Structure 1
Amino acid sequence: MLPWFGTITARENYANALAEAEYVEITIAKRKLALSVAQSYYQLYAIQTRQDVIDRNIELLQTYEKLALTSVEVGNASAVDVLRLQIRQNELLQQKELLQEEFLAEQSIFNNLLNRESVKQVQVVDSLIIPKIDPLLDEAALTLNPELVKYDKLYESIEQSEFLNQRESLPMLGFGVNYMPVQERPDMDFSDNGKDILMPMVSVSIPLFDNRYNSRSRQNELRQQEIESQKQQRLNVLESALAKAKSLRNQARISFDTQNKNLAQAKDAEKILLKNYETGTIDFNDVLDIQELQLKFQTQQIQAIKLYYVQSAYLNYLIN
């Protein structure tokens, strides 16, 4: 029995449509992996940069400690001020050690994402800056995101499934040969006595009951409606994610600019304190407060840079 003309081609098209839908899933997985790698890298950058900032603050506190010791010798400060500065250094050293452990854990995550040894050392850039102008975003490209293209491929596979269903509901053609061996009859005399019979056969199979095919057509129709609804829902989610990522990136820029201003003012306050040291009126409590503020502003600035680049990576995932 042979299927009706075009049925085999319909099966091939249906199989190809399913394969294309599966390939889009692979594309999505690759893009998500690339996004995870980028996010992990920027996390490593933030941790390493915070360690560098802590090192600079420790050096600054050591300078203050020397000033405090000199002030103690001339009677302008107490030993308590020196101890406070040393305690603060110990706290920063603790933070640095904790960050080192956090860096090693994130480094393992980064290496595992790249499918290599978890202890492999990762080199991170020394510094990142937020550009003055954000790259232009083609938001219309969101509709080309593989997460949405996947639904188009699934819809196409249902179309091919329905076409195949229509082909299979058509008659089938049968071709064959019926062979029958014949034994010679000794009591009869005719020309074809004992000649085997070879009879070509042609048949047509016509489906009388098409309820099965009608039911399958209805299922395909409902499935297409479901896919359209799922695609619209996913589009809404991605549009919301796009808006949020843009907002977070803008917030990162605002935070970065604010911390720049705060750091400049904290540096001015530090200079004033150091000038007061020349007159012997330095207050080391103020020194610690200014140092703590500087560390806070520097940490927030690093977090702003990390947030900016993490959200930029996510925007690339959505529209590039």
Structure 2
Amino acid sequence: MKTKLIYIVVFLITLTSKAQSLQDYLSIAVKNNPELQTIQYRYKSALEKVVEVGSLPNTTISVGYFAQEAETRVGAQKAKISATQMLPWFGTLTAKEESAKLNAAAQLNNYDFAKRNLFLNVKTAYFELYELKEKERIILENIDILKTFENLALNELENNRSTMLAVLKIRMEKNELTNQLSAVQESFKAKQIAFNLLLNREENSNVNIIKEVGNLKSVDFEKEQITQNPKMLQLNNLKNALEKLELATKKEGLPTIGIGLDYGFIQNRNIVDLEDNGKDIVMPMVTFSFPLFSKKYSSKQKQLQLEQKAIELSKVNTFNKLNTLFEKAKSNLESSKISITTQIKNIDEATSAKKVLLAAYETSKVDFEQLLEIQQLQLKFQLKKVISEKEYAIQKSTLEFLTKNE
């Protein structure tokens, strides 16, 4: 009973692993990716920065003891305690907080962009595995067809309706396909390891590959959505953060207000009926700090203004790059779509031609050279179709990376 239970568990685990889809692999990649985890920590750190910059400066507390007592009318001063709190100019802390929040938002944008980029890399690697798996299937299928041709040619050779040359040509083509098959299988192993490492998991983990990449129905991708790409949003937030920091720097160049309190401890005098005898001294205080030498504040403002101009130019450059990538991906998508349609037609034509040649087997001699040539053409069209399907899927993923938030 226990053995049966183990078999059932193993079977269910096997089914679960086989049922993994591309979406499952994307989820695994997000969960395991160290770069995304690094950015998450930086984002949390940036959120803590908001609390830091929004806090008031340290409160100053001082305690003094008079080594030589200072006499007052109501008694000698024994000790004094003072507390002072400096307050930045109105709005300074608010501007710093807003700047820190925008920097945190920029880190979140960075996370979104890194996630999109990871998705694109995973999809690209996955569709490359799809291409190799399909090539393997097609080549195996063609090897079986050539085996059939070989048997047919040997039968025809016995009946003097074929030559040994035809048999040898079929065998040479079969050997060539066997060699291609080995190359494809080795490439698949290497790319499967790379795919698993991209998911940051055991490199020999099995990868479940889809049977087809999907239909070729038109998908609308709006170029205007590039402005909402996380990279563009990150630059916007960084620029806005600098603007708020510039405002805070400007306010830092204004006077700082301080409020405080002095409390003096007074000793009683040996005088009878002295009014307020030994009464402690309480003295509220207000202080102002004037930045007479304010060049550092104006210099810092200039720095921040220059950094904003640099980000503006970076935004233009980034948009142009993303726009170029969009146009290239869209063009390649359409080219791949046309190529797939063309190869399907070519495969159908080759299949029809092959049927015509094989139909002649009933009445006359089979032309194995023509048959082999048609089979080679069909294989060529099949492989081209698979390459175009992979390219279509990758270009579609690139356009999603540029415009869609998954």
More strand per residue? 2
Contact kept? 1:162, 1:217, Cα under 8 Å: yes
- Alpha-carbon deviation of 1:312? 0.6
- Alpha-carbon deviation of 1:97? 1.9
Aligned with 1:307 (options 368, 375, 391): 391
Alignment of 1:237-252 (within 5 A): 237-252=321-336
- Alpha-carbon deviation of 1:283? 2.7
Contact kept? 1:169, 1:213, Cα under 8 Å: yes
One-letter amino acid of the counterpart of residue 227, structure 1: I
Alignment of 1:108-257 (within 5 A): 108-131=193-216, 133-178=217-262, 198-257=282-341
Distance in 2 (alpha carbons) for counterparts of 1:129 and 1:71: 43
User: Is 1:94 paired with 2:179?
Assistant: yes
The worse-fitting range, judged by mean Cα deviation, of 275-284 and 23-32 is 275-284
- Alpha-carbon deviation of 1:193? 8.0
% identical aligned pairs: 39
Contact kept? 1:72, 1:79, Cα under 8 Å: yes
Distance in 2 (alpha carbons) for counterparts of 1:245 and 1:138: 13
- Alpha-carbon deviation of 1:203? 0.9
Q: Provide the residue aligned with 1:84 in structure 2.
A: 169
Distance in 1 (alpha carbons) for counterparts of 2:126 and 2:229: 23
Contact kept? 1:130, 1:253, Cα under 8 Å: no
Distance in 1 (alpha carbons) for counterparts of 2:148 and 2:361: 13
Contact kept? 1:2, 1:174, Cα under 8 Å: yes
Contact kept? 1:171, 1:204, Cα under 8 Å: yes
The worse-fitting range, judged by mean Cα deviation, of 23-32 and 112-121 is 112-121
Distance in 1 (alpha carbons) for counterparts of 2:340 and 2:207: 26
Deviation string 1:229-261 (CA, Å, 9 cap, x unpaired) is 110111111111111111001100111122122
Q: Provide the residue aligned with 2:142 in structure 1.
A: 57
- Alpha-carbon deviation of 1:294? 0.9
- Alpha-carbon deviation of 1:43? 1.1
One-letter amino acid of the counterpart of residue 29, structure 1: A
The worse-fitting range, judged by mean Cα deviation, of 173-182 and 22-31 is 173-182
Distance in 2 (alpha carbons) for counterparts of 1:274 and 1:20: 68
Contact kept? 1:130, 1:305, Cα under 8 Å: no
Q: Provide the residue aligned with 2:361 in structure 1.
A: 277
SS at match of 2:87: coil
Q: Provide the residue aligned with 1:317 in structure 2.
A: 401
One-letter amino acid of the counterpart of residue 204, structure 1: F
Contact kept? 2:213, 2:393, Cα under 8 Å: no
Distance in 2 (alpha carbons) for counterparts of 1:138 and 1:8: 41
Equivalenced residue count is 318
User: Is 1:44 paired with 2:123?
Assistant: no
Unaligned runs of 5+ in 2: 1-85
Q: Provide the residue aligned with 2:343 in structure 1.
A: 259
- Alpha-carbon deviation of 1:22? 1.1
SS at match of 1:176: strand
SS at match of 1:174: strand
- Alpha-carbon deviation of 1:180? 5.6
Unaligned runs of 5+ in 1: none
User: Is 1:268 paired with 2:352?
Assistant: yes
- Alpha-carbon deviation of 1:200? 3.3
Q: Provide the residue aligned with 2:93 in structure 1.
A: 8
The worse-fitting range, judged by mean Cα deviation, of 133-142 and 295-304 is 133-142
Distance in 2 (alpha carbons) for counterparts of 1:8 and 1:218: 20
- Alpha-carbon deviation of 1:10? 2.1
Report the TM-score when normalising by structure 1. Answer: 0.91
Q: Provide the residue aligned with 2:158 in structure 1.
A: 73
Distance in 1 (alpha carbons) for counterparts of 2:224 and 2:121: 24
One-letter amino acid of the counterpart of residue 51, structure 1: E
- Alpha-carbon deviation of 1:316? 0.8
One-letter amino acid of the counterpart of residue 296, structure 2: R
Distance in 1 (alpha carbons) for counterparts of 2:388 and 2:131: 9
With a CA cutoff of 8 Å and minimum separation of 6, indicate the structure with the bigger relative contact order.
1
Deviation string 1:201-252 (CA, Å, 9 cap, x unpaired) is 3211111122211112222222111111110111111111111111001100
One-letter amino acid of the counterpart of residue 165, structure 2: V
Aligned with 1:291 (options 375, 386, 398): 375
Q: Provide the residue aligned with 2:113 in structure 1.
A: 28
Distance in 1 (alpha carbons) for counterparts of 2:363 and 2:165: 20
SS at match of 2:137: helix
Distance in 1 (alpha carbons) for counterparts of 2:358 and 2:286: 107
Distance in 1 (alpha carbons) for counterparts of 2:226 and 2:87: 46
One-letter amino acid of the counterpart of residue 121, structure 1: N
More helix per residue? 1
Contact kept? 1:130, 1:308, Cα under 8 Å: no
